[in-house]
Chain A
Amino acid sequence: MKKLSRTLTKTLVAAALTAGLSLTASAADKFKVGFVYPSPVGDVGWAQELDKGRKGIEAAFGDKVETVVVENVPEGPDAARIMNQMASQGADMIMLGSFGYMNDGLKLAARKKDMSFIHASGFKTADNFGNFQTRNYESAYIAGIAAGYLTKSNTFGIVAAYPIPEVVGIINTFTLGAQKVNPDVTVKVVWLNSWFNPSKAQESARSLISQSADVVFSLYQDTPSVVTVGEEEGVYVINTSSDMKKYAPTKLLASLAIDWVPYFTERVKAAMDGTFKGEPYWGGMADDAVSVASLSSDLSAEQRAEIDKVTASIKSGAFHPMSGPIVDQDGAEKVAAGSAISDGDMLGINWLVKGVETRIPN
């Protein structure tokens, strides 16, 4: 039903897009960049962060670029149609904002060798098809330290989207960060199996609070519903993607912020210069792609100093949040003392560290 209505909306949008683009096609030989988002550009959230990146491009290149946006595009045939439409209307580059756009994007990239593509969070590349994601596990480690300092019940709750490696990795480093300063911390996870389900996310947060969690982590939930519950119930909240300070002015512990502007700008410049290559990009604190925003003022000066110290060591590359010795939930050693996890292992991580009570569903 929802799908059907979206299809109808999308048809109208595509029609409007066709009309709009053909009018401007002859306007100038601007460099055209198309953006496809999986959700509406809201006040906060994933699409909003991507759109900040788009605005960053417009600010950086001014009249030289023109951007076209289609938001709320379901993965599948609709996405394929929209990106093909963009290509046929003369887009030089397309940013695909969701994992599920990958295969359709690759097909289009194979046909349109003169175009450049960047794709969010995928794992396949081609000569003109690169992908990008962020090392949010780095900022999650820092947020974990902050949470470890401020918890009284030593119980954390995480409202998590899907049990995929990226999410599992964040849960792990968050837990390790907390254990660094507070070894007794335990973590409960509710898997929502959804990127977007505001009422269920909210009820999950309440459920975790009822089980004595006093820090709740909203992990890849695209609305502020968990964050608002935290403020209401008086427990600390941490969230991903956007800064949600205004939804929890007193109880926001930290936001894991993302900044796509440096990466998008660099890629557009490369595409304009003809030097674009399809490569994977995994931006971290060192690239200013991820950071911790709005750290709670309840942290003491010494605690902040420690956080700054760890942040600096992650930024410089001296410290990796997944450094051994690390044991998993069953007590088996996964990362030996003196070594850190490899990027390849991190990308496929499917085990949780000791201290996390919930299992990964299999």
Chain B
Amino acid sequence: MEPLIFILAGTLAAATPLLYAALGELVAEKSGMLNLGVEGMMAVGAASGFVIVALTGSHALGFLGGAVVAMLLSLVYAALTIVFLANQVASGLSIGILGLGISAAIGKEYEGTTVTTFAKLDLPILSDIPFLGRAIFDQDILVYGAIALAILIWYLLEKTKLGLIIRAVGESPHSSHVLGYNVALIRLSCVAFGGAMAGIGGAYLSTAYTPLWADGMVAGRGWIVVALIVFGTWMVPRVMFGAYLFGALTLLELSIQGIGFNVPSQILSASPYIITIVVLAIISRNPILIRQKSPMSLGETFKANS
């Protein structure tokens, strides 16, 4: 395994949990729901997914279970913000913290244990291609699933009526309501979808990427996901690019250290975050770029006047 293959193959895997969670969060935000609880949702997804794989040996069940449990947590957020009209930011932060606590409780008995790795796809001809074969075609199905999901979400949001409705709700819930759309139901569905995707991302971390459970293993990825949406200015291709860039940077850092470049490792460790901040700062200097795709009602609660 040469260094370049390591970085290419590793980038695809490292970006996968980020991508699932980010695509889910993007859909939620497009409907106007700023759910900051991604970290907690990923954590419960990771813990419950891990426990299920440990008990049943089935990764499919693990991903499903992780998605369901994280979705349930996202529904708590939906209930707070849509039914009780609580502040979105505060509610998201609270369920994020709650999720971390719940994940620690779910995983208590499994602390530091491992499960079998999620099997890689055996693509007979493609994986025999020199270099690219091992870098790109020696992955598990969820790595490709993330790319497929990105295309699907892009198509859904940009090309379908359902996407238009979601975006309309995110732009102006009042107008959408007047037009006869059930704003609460649409927002709830988008939040639930976001929760399920965060759960899959979390379960991917604990059962495929690093097949072990340890409290705190999501390690801030949920926050990176929230930043990725802004980084990608609410556009699927850019969010996707951001996820792969972030994955590549984290791996590049490790490779550079091993090769023996004389750069302080602390700076290298911080580099993905530093670059994220720099890019965010650059993007934010251009208000048009941000405003173009950012949902107008993002973060605002909505109460129908009937």
Tell me the A residues contacting B by CB distance below 8 Å: 1-2, 4-5, 8-9, 40-45, 48, 72, 157, 163, 188-193, 196-200, 202-204, 206-211, 213, 222-225, 228, 232-233, 247, 357-359, 361-362
Contacts and interface: CB of A to CB of B under 8 A. Distances in A.
Given A5-B101, A157-B258, A357-B260, A199 B217 contact: yes
Contact of B214 (A2, A204, A223, A361): A223
Contacts of B101: 5, 8-9
B259 interface: yes
Contacts of B210: 198-199, 202, 225
Interface string B216-234: 1101100100000000000
A203 B97 contact: no
B1 interface: yes
29 contacts: A2-B100, A4-B97, A5-B97, A5-B100, A9-B104, A40-B215, A188-B259, A189-B257, A190-B265, A191-B257, A191-B265, A197-B219, A199-B205, A199-B209, A200-B254, A203-B10, A203-B250, A204-B254, A206-B1, A207-B254, A207-B257, A209-B6, A210-B1, A210-B3, A223-B212, A223-B214, A361-B265, A361-B266, A362-B264
A206 B258 CA distance: 11
B269 interface: yes
Given A223-B212, A224-B114, A210 B255 contact: yes
B93, B97, B108, B114, most chain A CB atoms within 10 A: B114
Interface residues of B, number: 45
Given A188-B258, A199-B209, A359-B262, A42 B112 contact: yes
Contact of B250 (A44, A200, A211): A200
Interface in B1-18: 1-3, 5-6, 10, 14
Interface in B77-135: 93, 96-97, 100-101, 104, 108, 111-114, 117
A200 B211 CA distance: 13
A153 to B, nearest CB: 12
Contact of B216 (A2, A8, A190, A191): A2
Interface residue SS majority, chain B: helix
Contacts of B29: none
A193 B217 CA distance: 15
B5, B100, B250, B262, most chain A CB atoms within 10 A: B100
